[in-house]
Amino acid sequence: MNIANLFNNYEEAIAMILFGIGFSNLLLQKNLIKKIIGLNIMDTATYLFLALKGYIDGRKAPIVVNGVQSVEAYINPIPSGLVLTGIVVSVSVTALMLSLTIRLYRRYHTLDLDEISTKLKKEGL
């Protein structure tokens, strides 16, 4: 293992650190909104990683302008496509989570998931 690699590929390292931050926030935070923020950090970190993998130094986004059709001119478009798909997925999941949060908040007037659990136990449903 070479520590220098970590600094040479600092972008990937940052993406992984962000993923860790998002993952632990989604898992450990009690507040539902903070959990959702964690989810978005986690997803965005994955997209950063994907985008980095498709990027080739000195080339442009894969949109044909001025009739340049050479493959050499553009970056790899597939990761960008995957990122777009991923964003769509994460938007819909976030919307679903937010709507669940609103429902729970209207019912229990709190965003704390543990507090909601204790209230549920008191209700004894």
Residues near another protein, by CB under 8 A: 19, 22-23, 26-27, 32, 35, 39, 42-43, 46, 49-50, 53, 78-79, 82, 85-86, 89, 92-93, 96-97, 100-101, 103-104, 107-108, 113, 116-117, 119-120, 123, 125
Task: Report the residue number, 62 or 86, with the smaller CB distance to another protein.
Answer: 86
Task: Report the residue number, 14 or 119, with the smaller CB distance to another protein.
Answer: 119
Task: Report the residue number, 40 or 73, with the smaller CB distance to another protein.
Answer: 40
Minimal CA–CA distance to 101: which of 41, 21, 43, 35? 35
Q: How far is the CB of 39 from another protein (least distance, A)?
A: 6
Backbone φ and ψ for 121, nearest 5 degrees, come out as: -65, -40
Q: Tokens 């965005």 — which residue? A: 44
C-alpha 71/C-alpha 76 separation (Å) is 9
Q: 112 pairs with which residues across the strands?
A: 31
